[in-house]
Amino acid sequence: MSNLVFRFATIQGQNIHWFLKRNCSVSPAQLAWVYLSLCVVSLGIGAVFWFQGATLVMPFAWVELLVVGVSFRVYARHATDGEKISLQGAQLVVELESAGKLERAEFNREWVRVEPRTGDRSLIEVSGQGRTVQVGRYVRPELRPALAREIRMALRGA
């Protein structure tokens, strides 16, 4: 296995792992700090206007923070989405995480098929033993065939 060269995978001992993650510029923790600082600034400005007699500024500040908070929460729920594909001995394990929900499928490596679906921008279909999982959401469409070839190569050469 050590003579195989992988573009997308990492090798740890006898196991091969593909970690395909969403490209996010801000982590959920960083987003929380941004939101907290936005709250402090917005409510501080609203308080200044409140004490000067402009009482309608504060309710609009609260509405603004509520809308921004909801949108940040939606973003943060999907910031850690990803796909993990692992070749562990005789098993190919596929784990898909979306909005905190984990879907796991295990395939016998001798019975699994890895094929790009029809169409240029389609996902990679991993199937076997009556189960089918689609992977490659976080890989550019033009690189998906290369990822599928790499997984098939690992299945044959491991």
Strands (E), the chain: 9-12, 15-21, 82-88, 91-98, 101-108, 113-116, 124-128, 131-135
For the chain, the structural domain boundaries read: 9-22+83-157, 28-79
CATH of 9-22+83-157, one of 3.30.70, 1.10.3470, 4.10.280, 2.30.29: 2.30.29
Quick: pLDDT tens for 57-104.
999 999 999 999 999 999 888 888 999 999 998 999 999 999 889 999
CA–CA distance, 156 with 12 (Å, rounded to integer): 18
Inform me whether the pLDDT recorded for 109 exceeds 70.
Answer: yes
pTM of the model: 0.75
Residue 77 CA to chain centroid, in angstroms? 10
